[in-house]
A = this chain, B = another copy of it.
Amino acid sequence: MSNFPKRVQIKEEGPREGFQIEKTFVPTARKIEFINALADTGLKTIQIVSFVSPKVVPNMADAEEVVAGITPKPGVTYTGLALNDKGIERALATKRLTVKGSITLCASESFLKRNQNRTLEQQLAAQRESIALYKQHGLPIEGAGISAAFGCNFEGDVPVARIMGLAADIFTVAAEQDVAIKSFALMDTMAWGTPDRIKRVLGALQDKYPDLEYILHLHDTRGMGIANAYAGLEMGVAHFDACVAGLGGCPFAGHKGAAGNVCTEDLAFMCAEMGIETGLDLEKLIECARLAEDIVGHPLPGSVMVGGSLAKLRQKVAA
């Protein structure tokens, strides 16, 4: 019936996706403290900063100082988000970050117009330019992705056929540029995903592209994050992006409320209870979640950080 993976890898995005939407500037030292704590939980990939204009995202103005300040842990990959030439150059200049190229399209033309003033056609052209840029910097390009993959606040539902069309576009561009795509991310940027929708889109993609490594990037705005992750697990998805304590949200998505990413420790808890390996120390993740709350200075939406792990209760009962 279900096709659960034996092992799940979670990429932590809290320091980047979480702090970028905070209105108050998070002191550099506290960002560094948080990233170092995360690296001690068993997380193997942590996206720690983005290289964007400080006018647009003031909380990322200290990206270089943050990267220079951390104590890199052997075996942990630290990444930074870079969306243009300048960003890539800044990321590479740190000499501490793993920087990779990817072919990423947005499924919503309305969202594209609003945020990048581009049409679906134009974003494909822009991806060709990005690939040239990655190649120029000698960066590997192995990942592809589609944002707003399940729906968009400004455009509505995204039909499966559009996802399949965009995937075909991605592989056409990849082939013409001699790029071999290995992983494919579906990003539920504005939280339109529900478990059945996740399964329909994944099912269609897996039928056509069975050998890709699928990644789910989920938001919990409407409370579906963990259920959507579970639907992904049922489809064999073994790679998830997540944020400790449910930090995060998209600053451009027009949400007012506590729109967070799917919560790392809640997802890790579910996997552990299902016997799926994550390599993560749940109690240490919970400590990081509490640290995140202390740093941002307001309650965060994570649940296990409040309810506690079952492993700890089992120990207590056994004692």
Contact = CB atoms under 8 A, between A and B. Distances in A.
A258 interface: yes
Interface in A205-242: 220-224, 226-227, 229-231
A53 interface: no
Interface in A164-216: 191-192, 194-197
B1 A256 contact: no
A307 B231 contact: no
A317 B229 CA distance: 27
Contact of A306 (B256, B299, B318): B256
Interface string A306-319: 11101001100110
Interface residues of A, number: 48
A224 B229 CA distance: 11
B306 A274 contact: no
Contacts of A156: 313-314, 317-318
A151 interface: yes
Nearest to A230: B227
B230 A154 contact: no
A259 B196 contact: no
Interface in A245-290: 255-259, 263, 266, 269-270, 273-274
A210 to B, nearest CB: 18
Contact of A223 (B110, B255, B266): B266
Given A222-B303, A303-B222, A307-B259, A314 B227 contact: no
Q: Report how many copies the assembly holds.
A: 2
Contacts of A196: 273-274
Nearest to A151: B310
Most buried by B among A154, A194, A221, A231: A194
Given A273-B194, A274-B195, A274-B196, A223 B303 contact: yes
Nearest to A231: B230
A80 interface: no
Given A307-B255, A313-B153, A313-B156, A274 B226 contact: no
Nearest to A1: B1
Interface of A: 1, 110, 151, 153-157, 191-192, 194-197, 220-224, 226-227, 229-231, 255-259, 263, 266, 269-270, 273-274, 299, 301-304, 306-308, 310, 313-314, 317-318
29 contacts: A110-B317, A156-B313, A156-B314, A156-B317, A157-B314, A191-B307, A192-B310, A194-B273, A194-B274, A195-B230, A196-B273, A221-B306, A222-B269, A222-B304, A222-B310, A223-B263, A223-B266, A223-B269, A223-B302, A223-B303, A223-B307, A224-B270, A227-B230, A227-B270, A230-B230, A230-B231, A257-B306, A257-B307, A259-B306
